[in-house]
Structure 1
Amino acid sequence: MDFSVIGMRGNASFETIVEHFTSMGGEVVLLDPDYVYGRDMIESAAEHAVRAFEHGMNRSKTILTETIIYAASERQISKALSRMKPKEGRMDYVALLIDIPDPKLDEIGMTRDDSLIEGTPEKAERLGLINEMGIPCEDLTLERVALLDLAKY
């Protein structure tokens, strides 16, 4: 599987975006940018999801949902989906593209904006990333993703 993480803005609906990417022969996970703290967080979540399936330790039925569980650092599927799914009326998304080399966003009226992926102090606060020991927030998010393997069972 080939993963890429992009930010995008525009008027296309959630359903339109999903249909666009699946019609290209790939898959997509759309995430709320408010809960994404860096590209590495999402790539790590996807890698952990693949590994969970390879070892029979997945909690969900699809790689897409398993990725959301890891990205949310939440063992309960419903809570993970509630947190990470873009809220109704949003016009910006973070997308994990799976096996889609060229997203062709112009075909659905979207523009790429990777600034949506970047971590900010507001996102760190929203995610409860406490940085008392000088550990970069990017590293803390990766730890949370990895620690879910322990919390899942």
Structure 2
Amino acid sequence: MNIDIRGYRGTVEDLDELLNEIKGFPCTVQLIDARAVAGSDHAIHGALHAIRAFERGQNISSDPGIEICLRIAGTRQISRALELLGLGEGEMEICAVLVDCGSDAQEFLDSRFQRDDSVLEPDEDYLRSLYDLGEEVKTVGVENALMERTTMLQVL
């Protein structure tokens, strides 16, 4: 299994068209709002938990990309995960999670958007507000608090 996390900047002109195009790859390509991710480790952690959930038969969604969103967002509600992580049309900072993809998926994204891994640097104030993080942040930090929520989905 190979998980590749990539940051991009660019304009999403037609979201439905973009989503249809990435569904054509024989791998999992999940594009999410990079502002809602606390770094590449957070994204990898969510992707690993999603893959393991499928292996155990404990996945919440039948779609691996949506399962990745659920795990990164730390929620069992698809609508909430998409509200937190979903792309929109217009200028976006994008976190691409590619699972077992070849160079064709990477080349497609590189041709559509400008590669910029700096978008994966977390804005901790924004994340605290977005995820309504409480006192746990003072002890473990934003990234660890979000990864703990992902881990807790297994237990609940």
Shift in Å, 1:61: 0.7
Partner of 1:141: 146
Q: What is the distance in 2 between the residues matched to 1:141 and 1:129?
A: 8
CA-to-partner distance for each residue in 1:40-79, whole Å, 9 max, x for gaps? 1111111111111111111111211111111111111222
Partner of 2:86: 85
CA deviations on 1:1-32 (whole Å, 9 max, x unpaired) are 31111111123443454455455543211111
CA contact (8 A) 1:41 1:145 kept: no
User: In 2, Cα distance between the equivalents of 1:4 and 1:21?
Assistant: 15
Where structure 2 has 5 or more consecutive residues not aligned to the other structure, the ranges are none
- SS of structure 1 residue aligned to 2:90: coil
Note if contact 1:18-1:28 (Cα within 8 Å) is conserved in structure 2: no
Give the unaligned 5+ runs of structure 1.
none
- How far off is 1:107 after superposition? 2.4
TM-score normalised to structure 1 length: 0.83
Name the residue aligned to 1:75: 76
Task: Say if 1:33 and 1:86, in contact at 8 Å, map to a contact too.
Answer: no
- The answer to whether the 8 Å contact 2:32/2:86 transfers is yes
Mapped partners of 1:15, 1:118: distance in 2: 27
Q: How does the TM-score come out when normalised to structure 2?
A: 0.81
Per-residue Cα deviation, 1:70-95 (whole angstroms, up to 9, x for no partner): 11111112221222111332432111
Runs of 4+ off more than 6 Å: none
Whether 1:128 aligns to 2:129 is no
Distance 1:79 1:12, change over 3 A: closer
Name the CA distance, whole Å, in 2 between partners of 1:139 and 1:9: 25
- Give 1:122 deviation, angstroms: 2.5
RMSD: 2.1
The 3-state SS of whatever aligns with 1:5 is strand
The Cα of 1:96 is off from its aligned counterpart by: 0.4
Q: Work out the number of aligned pairs and report it.
A: 149
Q: What is the one-letter code of the residue matched to 2:127?
A: A
Identity of aligned residues (%): 31
